[in-house]
Structure 1
């Protein structure tokens, strides 16, 4: 299934994408695409529905973040071999973790707002894991029992905030609109091998990132098991699994994003996003 949320910001309703690409309204069935819906039982209930009996949503409706009720966004840094190389850094011996504030979450096609003082705005297409079952000290063999599905994430970053000042990476990762999610969450049964997905990103039609999740240093199973050693993962939590080579940071010269530019990105089988960069306005 492809589950999504549609409608005005802050007033999204739950929906699904049927086999013909029509968005169907789930608001008469579930309250939202939230932790209660993401359990195995909740997803089984939705699979039993006949989508054609659900009301069709008018074309052009805004898509919101594909998951609601996210308690945390956990990210993995330097998790692609070629990206570590372009960054001039050694491959990490264990996953590098950081967080994005939940207030950074936005819809897949909403504008990305450059924060005040931004000078080095960057893009990062990433495979997102959506947790469906509480995960605490999970063995690798059991990881997939705890995953509801997957989605596209753009881990938008302000590199000057992230790298050039003191403190943690979270400062360069957490501005409003820095975590577009969606367009939909694809349930795990439709992604038989998350380590064999092509992912890509373009800016104004120029392709900068084009790789596969097979270049990950730490796999989906590695990542979920590892993170669950240090914190409890709750249904609805998002894990951004790292980005491949081709970010602005790794280029010479570095083509930082500017207001008016448009990013388009996607992952095989998980859909596409598109965001235009705008300047912050008080």
Structure 2
């Protein structure tokens, strides 16, 4: 099932996508899509609905984050060996973890560059949404704790990340630096998360063209691994790393600027499009 939320900030409504790609209104069945909705029994109840009987939303307008109440936003660095190579980094022996501080934004909401940013970059990534509490789970049981998957753009300011000292977080957590969606696709519909093609264009030029099958650490391993350090709760999101083709890896490097347009997608999970804006506080409020 493909779940989404649509509408202006603060007035979002729950919806789903039918077999024809149309948005259907779920507000008569559930008040919102949030961490409680991600529980297995709640998802089964939604999946039992005859979608074709729901009202069609002809003009949904803004597509919001696919669920409300995002918990931890945990990211994995250098999880594709060819991406590590393009950045000159060593392939890690264990997953590299960092956090995004930014409030989640919808798939097509604007990306606003930080003030004086000169090295902001793009990264298409598979997002893993937790549906049941995971604490010290085995790798064999890890995927049973996943509610679904989504597209994430792990936008990154490389100067802040690499040249300003400390951890990566300060280059990853800038406002608007984590568009999510357009949909949350339930795990049963996705099937094997290690065989999904993924891509990203900037201004119509294809920069990233990869597949989740080349991950160093699989989704199951990541859920298992992270659960050894912190309890994962429904609504927590794991962004699992990016394939090669980021701006930092170009020769010479290419970074985002005002007016650029990013388009990205993952097989079966939908597409995003963001226009890049120079610093403008009015776009954040």
TM-score (ref. length: structure 1): 0.98
Q: 1:119, 1:13 → 2: CA distance?
A: 37
How much has 1:159 moved relative to structure 2? 0.7
SS at structure 2 position matched to 1:246: coil
How much has 1:246 moved relative to structure 2? 0.5
1:198-209 mapped onto 2 (5 Å cutoff): 198-209=197-208
Aligned length: 281
Give ranges in structure 2 of 5+ residues lacking alignment: none
Q: In the superposition, relative to structure 1, how do residues 37 and 150 fare at CA in structure 2: closer, same or farther (>3 Å)?
A: same
Extract structure 1 runs of 4+ deviating beyond 3 A: none
How much has 1:10 moved relative to structure 2? 2.5
RMSD in angstroms over aligned alpha carbons?
Answer: 0.9
Q: 2:233, 2:30 → 1: CA distance?
A: 19
Native 8 Å contact 1:70 1:102 kept in 2: no
SS at structure 2 position matched to 1:52: helix
Give ranges in structure 1 of 5+ residues lacking alignment: none
Q: 2:31, 2:174 → 1: CA distance?
A: 28
How much has 1:137 moved relative to structure 2? 0.4
How much has 1:191 moved relative to structure 2? 1.4
Q: 1:154, 1:71 → 2: CA distance?
A: 17
1:188-222 deviation per Cα after TM superposition (whole angstroms, max 9, x unaligned): 00111111110000001100000111110000011
How much has 1:55 moved relative to structure 2? 1.7
Pairing 1:107–2:106 present? yes
How much has 1:102 moved relative to structure 2? 4.5
TM-score (ref. length: structure 2): 0.97
1:246-265 mapped onto 2 (5 Å cutoff): 246-265=245-264
Native 8 Å contact 2:194 2:212 kept in 1: yes
Native 8 Å contact 1:71 1:102 kept in 2: no
Q: 2:50, 2:190 → 1: CA distance?
A: 22
